[in-house]
């Protein structure tokens, strides 16, 4: 019985050390690998119906693309859809931080192949397969 009573203060001390020591230690470890607890702001594009990727989207039909804003502020996005260097369609969407929207990208004028949908001024893009009607 004496041993269990004397181990309680030791256990409490160990918990306090872990609670107060974890944050500085983890910050040092994260910095050593260029990490952070802070979320990184980002924008993203994804095909709205990924299951259709295998079949492809019919030329002339709109291609649903999900646009997500996690930049920390309201952002106006300008996007373009191109195929083999030719402009197929352009558009813009304004999203508040933390919001996502499905953009219906027109593919009128596209032919069988790949349609590249990109956010202007970024390296963010998705590629949608297009098939002939």
Query: How does pLDDT run across 53-83, given as a tens digit for each residue?
Result: 888 999 999 999 999 999 999 999 999 999 9
Identify whether residues 83 and 117 lie together within a single domain. Answer: yes
DSSP state, residue 123: S
If one counts every other C-beta atom within 10 angstroms of the C-beta of residue 109, the result is 13
Q: Are 129 and 110 in contact (CB under 8 A)?
A: no
**Low-confidence stretches of the chain (pLDDT beneath 50):** 1-2
Same domain flag for 96 and 51 = yes
- Strand order from edge to edge, sheet including 125-131: 57-58, 125-131, 113-119, 75-83, 86-95
Mapping DSSP to helix (H, G, I), strand (E, B) and coil, where does residue 82 land? Answer: strand
Query: Is residue 72 located within the same domain as residue 85?
Result: yes
**pTM of the full predicted structure?**
0.72
Per the structure, the complete domain to which residue 47 belongs is given by 42-131
């Amino acid at each position: 019985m004496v041993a269990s009573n004397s181990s309680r203060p030791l256990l409490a001390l160990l918990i306090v050390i872990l609670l107060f020591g974890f944050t500085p230690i983890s910050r040092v470890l994260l910095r050593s690998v260029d990490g952070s607890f802070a979320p990184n702001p980002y924008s993203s594009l994804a095909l709205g119906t990924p299951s259709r990727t295998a079949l492809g989207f019919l030329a002339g039909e709109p291609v649903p693309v999900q646009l997500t804003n996690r930049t920390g502020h309201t952002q106006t996005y300008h996007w373009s859809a191109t195929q083999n260097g030719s402009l197929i369609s352009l558009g813009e969407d304004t999203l508040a931080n933390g919001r996502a929207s499905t953009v219906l990208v027109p593919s009128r004028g596209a032919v069988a192949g790949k349609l590249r949908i990109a956010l202007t001024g970024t390296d963010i893009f998705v590629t949608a397969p297009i098939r002939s009607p």
